[in-house]
Amino acid sequence: MKATFNNTQIAQFYKKENKTNLSTKIIRDIIYSYFDLIANDIASGKRVTLTYLGDIVVKKKKLNYDRTDRLPIDFYRTKKLRKEDAEFRKNKGVVRLLNEHSDGYVAHCYWIKLYSPLENSQFFNFTPFYTLKKKIYKQTIDNIYVYEDYIKGLP
């Protein structure tokens, strides 16, 4: 079962529960502004603590070049090279992404539930929204080293 609420629904719920005179549009704009501030903090490499939910942080991880078959495929360059080179097309070759722009690192957003008082938190997940993903991507191009290192098993 999946429950997803948009900002307008959250604003309507808040207005109903708190019996406030503010309009739904103003409450929704406050929610947008708050999420934008949090997204900027997360994308800039800060660990953000959300009360009753835990921490959200972006961590960088070095790609494992020992297993090149696990590296993501660069579809654009693969398609372009297959058009130009018949031998490459015949052998069904692929071009892999090496993330040279970030010295071989990738950045991922993590929700650290260790300090969260939520019961059954293993059933909840965090999926970063498109705008946050785009901000993280831009930051990885500018400076990947603002993010914490990913160490397996540590929050």
pLDDT at 153: 63
Number of folded domains in the chain? 1
pLDDT at 83: 92
The first and second tokens of residue 77, run together, are: 């360059």
Amino acid at 76: Y
9 part of a folded domain: no
Averaged in consecutive runs of 10 residues, what is the pLDDT profile of the chain (155 residues)? 75 87 89 90 89 86 79 90 91 86 84 82 82 87 80 65
DSSP 104: T
CB of 124 closer than 8 Å to CB of 118: yes
Per the structure, the complete domain to which residue 140 belongs is given by 47-63+99-148
115 part of a folded domain: yes
71 part of a folded domain: no
